[in-house]
Structure formats: structure tokens, C-alpha cells
């Protein structure tokens, strides 16, 4: 086992994409033995991680996330940057299956030697990200990828999850001016470090410029974030290959700004603490449900709730009290 981990870590650190894919699969496995192996592997490679710029990208279905990421990714690789795209697809609540079609949607980028695309299903995870997205980020960084892009499922779930694992949070919007402001959550607007109006070409270009003005005005009404950064609104057109250069320049400015004022490092530290508490929550629940005694009690309480004999809160209190014993 030690030899396997040593060889896999060595190949991974040498930038071997096959080793990277194997390592990610290992981390995503639900088998207890694989989870232990993955934990040891992460301990080995973690000193070589953390040196990338992590970018979260979200937006409503139809906004053109994959199209934008392909155009943006091609611009980055043209600069000699190694990029990893973690494209998250929603899982079916019935079959747990997922389409995982981002490789076909990013056909040109997937052929680029400087790009690595990993489609992953959300599984049971909330917030539009996969269960092991954080671990996958570390593995990609250790493999030498300088920019990690996390494409979320889209607006509608709690986007706080992805915000808590990236450095820069980018919101994509369609042209539409004031109408767009009515259909977007204020919370997501407040989390965004930048907004990009997509499909700003042809007849849409005028609407895109109007939307840009309205969004920029709306952002000025919000309280400035802890980073001290004033979010910027830009327009892009994947069709006409316009705007991606400006988006990267904005992210570079944000990076320099947050490095200088200390927010970048502080944010990474806070994200690690959030990861600790989230992991502890998951592991504690898992340990609780592994107990036959507690599982039996839960089934009994479920029946009483159905029969109206006990309130759900009281049932939860009984269950927690039994753990203390």
C-alpha cells in the first residue's frame, strides 16, 4: 500500500494526468479502504498544493457557462497557463446518475495539452459542488495546474459552498438590463467578485452594455466586501472571441489587491476551518448512523413521528440524549 501511494504521488507531482485522474477517483470512492488510502495520499501531496488561483464560476442554466469557460480557458492556455476545470453536473435524485457532458461541450479545450477537465456529479452534496471538490483542487494544484476553475451547477442552490473554496467568485449573466436584476438573488450578487454579461454580440450587444451599466450601479449600492475589492462588470462574446482577456486582467488585479492587503491568506485560512467543521459534521453523522442501537432508536422515533405521538424536535432531542449515554 505504501509503495502504491508513493508511486501515485510521484506520478501526480510529475504532472501525469492519468495519475491525477486515478487520485481523484480514489478520493471520490465511498469504500472505507479507498478513503484511508486517499487520506494518506493527500497528506503526501498537500505541501505541493495551494499555489493556484481558484476561480468559482456560476450562473443560471442557459447563460453559457461551458462556452465561456472554454473561451476563457483557451485564452489562459495561450498565455502558457496550465488550467484545470472541475465541471460539476447535477445528479438525479432517483438514480444518482449524471450526464457529465462537459467534455463534449468543451471539445476544443479538452484537446488542449495545458488543460485538464474533470466532470463530476454532485452526489448528495449541496451548493452545486461535488463531495470531494476541495480534495480535487489540492490534487490538481499538486499536479502543477496554476488556475483551477470550479463550474457550479448554477444559481438556485446555496452558492455559499463554492464561495467557501475559491479565491475569486465570478457570476455570469445574460443580457437583459433591469429585467435581470429582478430575477437574481441579492445574496449571490453580494458574493460575486466580478460579473460577466455573456453573449454580448449582434443584437444582444446593446442590451449587454445596458445590463453592464445597471449591474455596476447595483453593485455600488452594496456594502464593500471584507476583501476591500470593488466588483467589476464586464461583457464577453465567445462567438466573437471578445472579453476573455479583460476578465483575466480583472482576476489578476483582484489577486494582487488581496495579496497586498492580506485578505488572500486570511480567506484561505478561514476556508480551511470551514472545511474542518464540514468534515467533522459529515464524519460524526456517519459514526452515529453506524451504531445499530441508534439506528434502531431512529426507526422507532420515525414511527412515533408518523403516528403523531411525538414532535420531530422532541424526537431529535431523545436521539441526541441517547448518544450522551
Q: How far apart are CA 222 and CA 185, in angstroms?
A: 13
pLDDT in tens, 260-301: 999 999 999 999 999 999 889 888 888 888 888 888 999 999
CB 207 within 8 A of CB 177: yes
Residue predicted with more confidence, 62 or 53? 53
Please state the rounded mean pLDDT for residues 155-163. Answer: 67
Q: How far apart are CA 164 and CA 153, in angstroms?
A: 15
Q: How far apart are CA 305 and CA 303, in angstroms?
A: 5
Q: What is the pLDDT of residue 155?
A: 53
Whole-structure pTM value = 0.87
Rounded to the nearest integer, the mean pLDDT of the chain is 86
pLDDT in tens, 161-209: 888 899 999 999 988 744 455 445 667 788 899 999 999 998 889 999 9
Q: What is the pLDDT of residue 184?
A: 57
| From 115-124, 225-234, 253-262, the region with the lowest mean pLDDT | 115-124
Going along the chain from its start, the domains and CATH numbers come out as 1-48 (1.20.5.170), 49-261 (3.40.50.300), 274-324 (no CATH)
pLDDT > 70 fraction of the chain, expressed in percent and rounded: 86
97, pLDDT greater than 60: no
Amino acid at each position: 500500500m505504501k509503495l502504491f501511494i508513493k508511486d501515485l504521488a510521484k506520478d501526480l507531482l510529475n504532472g501525469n494526468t492519468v495519475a491525477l485522474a486515478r487520485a481523484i477517483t480514489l478520493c471520490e470512492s465511498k469504500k472505507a479502504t479507498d478513503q484511508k488510502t486517499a487520506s494518506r495520499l493527500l497528506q503526501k501531496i498537500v505541501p505541493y498544493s495551494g499555489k493556484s488561483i481558484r476561480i468559482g464560476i456560476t450562473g443560471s442554466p442557459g447563460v453559457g457557462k461551458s462556452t465561456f469557460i472554454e473561451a476563457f480557458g483557451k485564452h489562459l492556455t495561450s498565455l502558457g497557463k496550465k488550467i484545470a476545470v472541475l465541471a460539476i453536473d447535477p445528479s438525479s435524485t432517483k438514480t444518482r446518475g449524471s450526464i457529465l457532458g462537459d467534455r463534449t461541450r468543451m471539445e476544443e479545450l479538452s484537446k488542449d495539452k495545458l488543460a485538464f477537465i474533470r466532470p463530476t456529479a454532485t452526489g448528495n452534496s449541496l451548493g452545486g459542488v461535488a463531495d470531494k471538490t476541495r480534495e480535487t483542487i489540492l490534487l490538481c494544484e499538486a499536479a502543477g495546474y496554476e488556475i483551477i476553475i470550479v463550474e457550479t451547477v448554477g444559481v438556485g442552490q446555496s452558492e455559499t459552498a463554492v464561495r467557501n473554496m475559491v479565491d475569486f467568485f465570478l457570476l455570469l449573466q445574460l443580457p437583459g438590463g433591469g429585467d435581470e436584476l429582478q430575477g437574481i438573488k441579492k445574496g449571490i450578487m453580494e458574493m460575486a467578485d466580478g460579473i460577466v454579461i455573456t453573449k454580448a454580440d449582434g443584437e444582444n450587444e446593446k442590451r449587454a452594455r445596458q445590463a453592464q451599466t445597471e449591474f455596476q450601479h447595483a453593485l455600488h449600492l452594496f456594502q464593500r466586501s471584507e476583501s476591500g475589492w470593488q466588483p467589476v462588470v464586464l461583457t464577453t462574446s465567445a462567438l466573437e472571441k471578445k472579453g476573455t482577456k479583460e476578465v483575466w486582467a480583472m482576476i489578476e488585479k483582484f489577486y494582487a489587491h488581496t495579496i497586498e492587503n492580506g485578505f488572500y491568506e486570511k480567506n484561505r485560512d478561514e476556508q480551511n476551518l470551514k472545511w474542518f467543521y464540514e468534515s467533522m459534521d459529515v464524519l460524526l453523522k456517519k459514526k452515529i448512523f453506524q451504531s445499530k442501537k441508534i439506528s434502531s432508536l431512529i426507526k422507532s422515533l420515525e414511527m412515533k413521528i408518523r403516528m403523531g405521538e411525538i414532535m420531530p424536535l422532541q424526537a431529535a432531542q431523545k436521539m441526541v440524549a441517547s448518544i450522551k449515554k
